[in-house]
Structure 1
Amino acid sequence: MTPEFVTSFFLEAIKTTILLAMPMLAVGLIVGILVSMFQAATQINEMTMVFVPKMLSVALALLFFFPWMMKLIIGFTQNLLINLPTYIR
């Protein structure tokens, strides 16, 4: 294994990880900002008002994006296992 191969393999793994985490993080960020704006407008400072909507929205995003995420991770794993003999050399 060359240093270039190891670098490119870890870069691909990190890229896949970021793509897998991005939908839930983006939905959580957007819902958090919207709830914070609502709290600022109404002057209600309740922590559960932020936590529950974010938790529910992230769970819904996980359900919505799960097929795409599975396709992405299965593709990465298949590529890894198919090319395993060449990686060993």
Structure 2
Amino acid sequence: MSPETFVEILREAMLLIIVIVSAVILPGLLVGLLVAVFQAATSINEQTMSFLPRLIVTLLALSWGGNWLVTKMMDYTNNLVSSIPSVLG
């Protein structure tokens, strides 16, 4: 296997990781920001008020986007396995 091939496989894997993690983390991050602004405006410093909405939104993002996330991972895995002969040969 040439170094270029290895770098290309690693690049594709890292891009997939970034896409999958972003799809799960970004909605929770936005909700956390909105709750933080609300808490700063009202001077309410309750920890569960910031944790619970982020947890719910993260779980909703996983349930709504789960099929898409699994499809992306399966496509990458299928492409990786199907490219084994060309990488080794």
Matched pairs, number: 89
Q: Distance in 1 between matches of 2:81 and 2:31?
A: 38
TM-score of the pair, normalised by structure 2: 0.94
| Ranges of 4+ aligned residues in structure 1 off by more than 3 Å | none
By how many angstroms is 1:88 displaced? 2.4
Residue identity matched to 2:69: M
Match for residue 79 of structure 2?
79
User: What residue ranges of structure 2 are gaps of 5+ in the alignment?
Assistant: none
Q: How does 1:1-89 map to 2 (within 5 A)?
A: 1-89=1-89
User: What residue ranges of structure 1 are gaps of 5+ in the alignment?
Assistant: none
Residue identity matched to 2:31: V
Q: Distance in 2 between matches of 1:38 and 1:16?
A: 34
Sequence identity percentage: 36
Between 79-88 and 23-32, report the one with greater CA deviation: 79-88
TM-score of the pair, normalised by structure 1: 0.94
